[in-house]
Structure 1
Amino acid sequence: MSTTTPNANANTTTLWRPTGPVELDLVAALDWRAWPPRLPEQPIFYPVLNEEYAIRIARDWNVKHDGAGFVTRFEVDTEFLARYPVRRAGGETILELWVPAEELDEFNAHIAGRIEVVREYR
């Protein structure tokens, strides 16, 4: 199974992240170029490998718990991502990467371009 989603740059992989308004504000404060540090109770950062899964989380979980949910899309260096095995968190399309919180700065350094909001739910 390939983890690379076709995109304009063959050297990057498209990832998505469902998020609530608090985390989104922190991303905006980082000029849309990085994810904020994890809280102590968040030892893992979970980007997902397909937009449909991100939509389900943003729409069904974030809206319920945070009042709003957002789907973000961003590109990360494919070669760097090879260190993180794809994890199946449920059905066949429920795929995510598990990035340890202590590696998030290095992960952020491999983001190509900006993080963008592609969907919003309220």
Structure 2
Amino acid sequence: MISPQKFENSIGNQTIADFIREQVLRLTYTAVDMRPFAADMGYGGEPFVWDEDDRRHRLARLDALFFHLYGLDRNDADYILAQFPIVREQDEKQFGRYLTRDLILAYMNAVAAGDLETVVEVR
């Protein structure tokens, strides 16, 4: 279990809670029918453009952050991600590799270094 106090800790220049809220808003508010949700989140702008690559990175960064918050290391994360063969198969079909795993593991390095801003590139 993650203690609520951990969400008030900072990584980089923002609290973990603020970072998560921003990611959830950007992943969720992609159509005008979600405007009330965005307003509840304190956002008054237009919906965010649906961008598959951006979404993939935001989700991987969130996964990496939660692995970190649960105290799991890269080996633990790699083992857990190996338990999702359908995701692996879909990634391999589309990208020629298990991109979801590769991004999450790369973002785990960034999170460990206190960086929630960098967009990683995996090769």
TM exceeding 0.5 = no
Higher share of residues assigned helix: 2
TM-score where L is the length of structure 2: 0.27
Larger relative contact order, structure 1 or 2 (CA cutoff 8 Å, min sep 6): 1
Calculate the TM-score normalised by the size of structure 1. 0.28
Q: Larger strand proportion, structure 1 or 2?
A: 1
